[in-house]
Amino acid sequence: MPYLKTRDGTELYVKDWGQGRPVVLTHGWPLSADMWDAQAMALAEAGFRAIAYDRRGFGRSGQPWSGYDYDTLADDLADVMAAANVEDATIVGFSMGGGEIARYMSRHDGKNVVAAGLVSSVVPYMLQTDDNPDGVPAAMLEQIKDGIREDRNRFFRHTFAPQFFGAGWVTSPVSDDVLDWATRTATMASLKATLDCVDAFGKTDFRPDLPAFRVPTLIIHGTADKTVPIDTSARAAHRGIAGSQLVEYEGEPHGLNVTASDRLTKDLLTFLGR
């Protein structure tokens, strides 16, 4: 099943590895399902079925002009799960992908889901407002879009990727090759999708979706995440999702799927074997 068609005819690229209990993985902006490869490989080797797909507009999936709102993206997730015939699934979202998890739980009533995970996730609300003072100012979201419009390659290679992985003058937790890969992957995406999704993940309020998490939920986030600050995301999600488990990775950046890859894999496997 390398490709499937969603209800509006968009083609999504799907990776389906292994056999066993299904784990469906949604990726972060502006990357692709490949960001999950290390974890997906370990899941498959441990006896799980790892399913990861490129979000519409990103990676190898189709690039329609519209559909970059979370209702549509949650419907895409539902279509992937239906096409893969999954039951008793664990769904795990990274960064922007956490929004798909939250909206799926409310919009599709958590159908066929027995557990959920939010990793470096934007849930519950990124935007700074009067009732969300720890959020990201709207002007900062506009700066991101301005940087992309002005010079997309430069923005992703020299601004986005280093911050994503916590690379700076003093610390270099990843190689230049990783930064180059992230840039190449980001620039595969539709420019329209890339810009629209800044508004989607930056301005969508998932707080009303939190009561729909009625399954065991694992939340993992780095305390040094400068892309999605932990106070407005993971800690707030933990307070809003009854019975959730929050695991904070001290000193880790947003891209802990790479910088703390082994630990993340171990924590996911532990959670799945709870």
Question: Which pLDDT score, from 0 to 100, does residue 170 have?
Answer: 63
CB 102 within 8 A of CB 209: yes
Question: Which pLDDT score, from 0 to 100, does residue 169 have?
Answer: 62
Question: Which pLDDT score, from 0 to 100, does residue 172 have?
Answer: 74
Q: pLDDT tens digits, residue range 55-88?
A: 999 999 999 999 999 999 999 999 999 999 999 9
Q: Which residues of the chain have pLDDT under 50?
A: none
Calpha distance 154→128 (Å, rounded): 27
pTM of the entire predicted model: 0.97
In the set 16, 32, 76, 95, the catalytic residue is 95
**Residue 225 a catalytic site member:** yes
The residue range of the domain holding 263 is 3-272
Q: Could you tell me the two tokens for 204?
A: 């969508």
What CATH number does residue 255 fall under?
3.40.50.1820
**Residue 106 a catalytic site member:** no
Question: Which pLDDT score, from 0 to 100, does residue 142 have?
Answer: 97
Give me the sign of the Cα torsion angle 188, 94, 73, 40: positive
Cα radius of gyration rounded to whole Å, the chain: 17
Q: Specify the pairing of strand 21-26 against strand 48-53.
A: parallel
The total number of structural domains that make up the chain: 1
**Residue 95 a catalytic site member:** yes
In the set 75, 225, 233, 267, the catalytic residue is 225
Question: Which pLDDT score, from 0 to 100, does residue 29 have?
Answer: 98
CB 185 within 8 A of CB 178: no
